Chain A
Amino acid sequence: MKDTTTSNTPQALSKRRRMKAMAWSFLFIVLSAMILPTASYLVSGEQAHAQVTNDQNQRANFWRAVREGAPGYSAVSGPEAGVFINNGGQNWRQLRNGMIANYGGWAIIIGLGVIALFFLVRGRIKIDEEASGMSVPRWKTWERVMHWYTAILFVLLTISGLSMLFGRAVLIPLLGAKGFSAWANLSINVHNYVGPFFAIGVFAMLLFWVKNNIPTGTDMAWFAKGGGLFSKAHPSAGKLNGGEKVWFWIVIFVGLVAVCGSGLVLIGWMAQLGFVDSTRGTMQLAHQVHAIASIVWVVVFFGHAYIGTLGTEGALEGMTTGRVSVEWAKQHHDLWYEEVKDQAGIAEDTTSAPAPSTAAS
């Protein structure tokens, strides 16, 4: 019997060589398959490390961008849907609930207090001369319509606006949550719908009354004498005195520009016209300007309303009937009286009747 494994025939030798080659090749393939993929680590360790740090950088950059409020993409559409964090919100909250609500509230209380104190100390400023029954025309019908239109809307806006700002603290305890909610809902609707019509009134005042309100040297002298508010002196004045002109320009800059301008941003009209965007940042700023300027305006308005009614005898008639007594005109607006005295006439019943036909010649 021959053992083929040990035979040395040529066929047996070649077969053994093939088997060996196959085994080595197999081992080589298996080892390569295991080692080659890891070769990248051995060969380019540097590069691989760089890739890891790059990955970390990317992550850090991402979180930094997010913190800084960088916008991203969102499939959801909506106002500023791509913004991660609205960073201005807390500042706005703190300013509105803190400074504006606190100082604003005090400004209104102190403003009213100062007026009450002034009334107690100085009393009503009376007309010195005996009434003669003679009067001069002061405000035309269209001027009075413009004034009262604007004034009534101003009061509506003040009540509704202040209700929104102070109602939570002042009115909820009085009306309860449901009652105040109903009031606030009425307020916001009145406020937002009346606002633009009010702005038209203020703008008309600018157009038609600016000519009365150009400051002159007379006004400086008037201020130097304190406007006669604290003394018995009657400093000279034209149709409008220095104080009234200051009120006019406060109405224009604080009122028309700051309050009405920001109000029109808040109801979205300025954005519609393309002047501003309607992001929360813009709205926060507009709201702050609006609230601060409107409180300034309201406080100064208290002064205006006091002087025009309780504070000065004979002033209100000018804006209600259109005529003022000759004595009032001489006392408060002497230079203007000189200009219009030839129009003076007897106005028995001070309705807005036209000035009596060509007066005393």
Chain B
Amino acid sequence: MARMKFLCDAERCIECNGCVTACKNEHEVPWGVNRRRVITLGDGESGEKSISVACMHCTDAPCAAVCPVDCFYTTDDGVVLHDKDLCIGCGYCFYACPFGAPQYPQEEAFGVRGKMDKCTFCAGGPADDNSPAEKEKYGRNRLAEGKLPLCAEMCSTKALIAGDGDMVADIYRERILKRGGRPQTWGWETAYGS
């Protein structure tokens, strides 16, 4: 079985935000929620670098560990998904997540936040594959259709790579061999422990 991973090549990312837009459009993500974001360090200065960040689908997922209602599960493909029917919007997964992935559609006066939303690796949720219920709560299930996440597919410079971890690592290694420099698998140590 594949073990799905994301990798963003900071030497290639040009901060076009195409991935952010692709994701929002594909899944009709609620207002104020962005499942993916691009962060730029030294924006506007020479040598600025950007990384596209979303849920990394951690191996020992901190979100799943702290969730009071235990609503997370990891699919056979290594994708970390959650059940919105169980989520109570406590915010604990957001406190624990290294990547700031969990997002909430509302911010009310008494700290109640609504159901958590995050990147699904385009793999939907616990509802039936590509049923209207799944689409509405979690967005499209591209994995069930044999497709990979749209953000990576749309990436103009192929900075963002998504897919089986070994294949992703191979593609990146080849790039490093060609262009030299040290490999920077941003977030991998935090998310996958290596």
Q: Assess the B97–A86 pair: CB atoms within 8 A.
A: yes
Majority-rule SS of A interface residues = helix
**B128 at the binding interface (Cβ < 8 Å):** no
Cα separation A81 to B111 with both chains bound (whole Å): 19
Contact A74 to B69, CB < 8 A, known contacts A280-B94, A280-B95, A284-B95: no
Chain A's closest residue to B50 (CB) is A72
* B72-114 vs A, Cβ < 8 Å mask (1 yes, 0 no): 0000000000000111111100111111100100010011100
Q: Say which size band chain A's interface belongs to.
A: 35 or more
Interface centre among A62, A70, A80 (most CB of B within 10 A): A62
B62 at the interface (CB under 8 A from A): yes
A75's partner among B17, B68, B88 (CB-CB below 8 A) is B17
Complex formed: what's the CA distance from A144 to B25 in Å? 59
Is A165 part of the binding interface, using a Cβ–Cβ cutoff of 8 Å?
Answer: yes
B33 contacts which chain A residues (CB < 8 A)?
78
Cβ of B70 and Cβ of A86 under 8 Å apart?
A: no
B49 within 8 A of A: yes
Q: A173 to chain B: closest CB distance in Å?
A: 11
Partner among A72, A89, A193 whose Cβ is within 8 Å of the Cβ of B97: A89
With both beta carbons as reference points, the residue of chain A lying nearest to B44 in the complex is identified as: A73
- Rounded to whole angstroms, the CA-CA distance of A93 and B98 in the bound complex is 11
CA distance A73 to B85 in the complex (A): 34
Could you say which residues of chain B place their CB within 8 Å of the CB of A159? Answer: none
* B-chain residues with CB within 8 Å of residue A87 when the two chains form the complex: 98
Q: Is B41 in contact with A62, judged by CB distance below 8 angstroms? A: yes
A74, B40: Cβ atoms closer than 8 Å = yes
- CB-nearest residue of chain B to A281: B95
The residue that A92 contacts in the complex, of B20, B96, B112, with Cβ under 8 A, is B96
What is the CA–CA distance of A283 and B34 in the complex, to the nearest angstrom?
21
Enumerate B9-37 residues with CB–CB distance to A below 8 Å: 10, 15, 17, 20, 32-34, 37
User: Would you give the 0/1 interface string for A63-97, flagging 1 where the beta carbon is closer than 8 Å to chain B?
Assistant: 10110001011111011111111110110110011
Q: Which residues of B contact A75 (CB under 8 A)?
A: 15, 17, 20, 37-38
Cβ A181 vs Cβ B34 within 8 A: no
B150 to chain A, nearest CB (A): 17
Contact of B110 among A72, A73, A267, A283 (CB under 8 A): A267
Identify the stretch in A182-190, A219-227, A319-327 within 8 Å (CB) of chain B at 4 or more residues.
A182-190
Could you tell me the distance between the alpha carbons of A55 and B179 in the complex, rounded to whole angstroms? 14
Binary contact track A168-196/B, C-beta < 8 Å → 1, others 0:
10001000011011001100110011011
User: In the complex, A70 Cα to B40 Cα: how many Å?
Assistant: 11
Q: Closest chain A residue to B53 by CB distance?
A: A84
**Given A164-B68, A184-B69, A84–B32 Cβ distance below 8 Å?**
no
Tell me whether A266 is interfacial, beta carbon within 8 Å.
yes
For A72, the chain B residues whose CB sits under 8 A away are 39-43, 50
Instruction: Please give, as numbers and ranges, the residues of chain B lying within 8 Å of A82 by CB-CB distance.
Output: 39
Interface residues on B, range: 35 or more
Q: Is the CB of A76 within 8 A of B20?
A: yes
Taken together as a complex, chains A and B put the C-alpha atoms of A195 and B112 apart, in Å, by: 13
Residue B146 CB within 8 A of the other chain: no
A-chain residues with CB within 8 Å of residue B51 when the two chains form the complex: 66, 84
- For B70, what are the chain A residues with a Cβ–Cβ distance below 8 Å? 168, 172, 177
Interface: A245 (CB within 8 A): no
**B111 & A266 in contact (Cβ 8 Å cutoff):** yes
Report the bound CA distance from A196 to B71 in whole Å. Answer: 28
Write out the residue numbers on chain A whose beta carbons fall within 8 Å of the beta carbon of B69.
167-168, 172, 177, 180-181, 184
24 A-B residue pairings within 8 Å (CB atoms):
A70-B41, A72-B40, A73-B40, A73-B43, A75-B38, A78-B34, A79-B94, A81-B37, A82-B39, A84-B53, A84-B186, A85-B99, A85-B190, A90-B62, A92-B66, A93-B66, A97-B66, A164-B90, A178-B85, A181-B69, A188-B89, A188-B90, A188-B112, A267-B110
Residues of A bordering B, CB below 8 Å: 55-56, 58-59, 62-63, 65-66, 70, 72-76, 78-87, 89-90, 92-93, 96-97, 164-165, 167-168, 172, 177-178, 180-181, 184-185, 188-189, 192-193, 195-196, 266-268, 280, 283-284, 287
9 nearest CB pairs, A to B: A267-B111, A76-B37, A73-B43, A72-B41, A181-B86, A58-B47, A72-B39, A192-B110, A89-B96
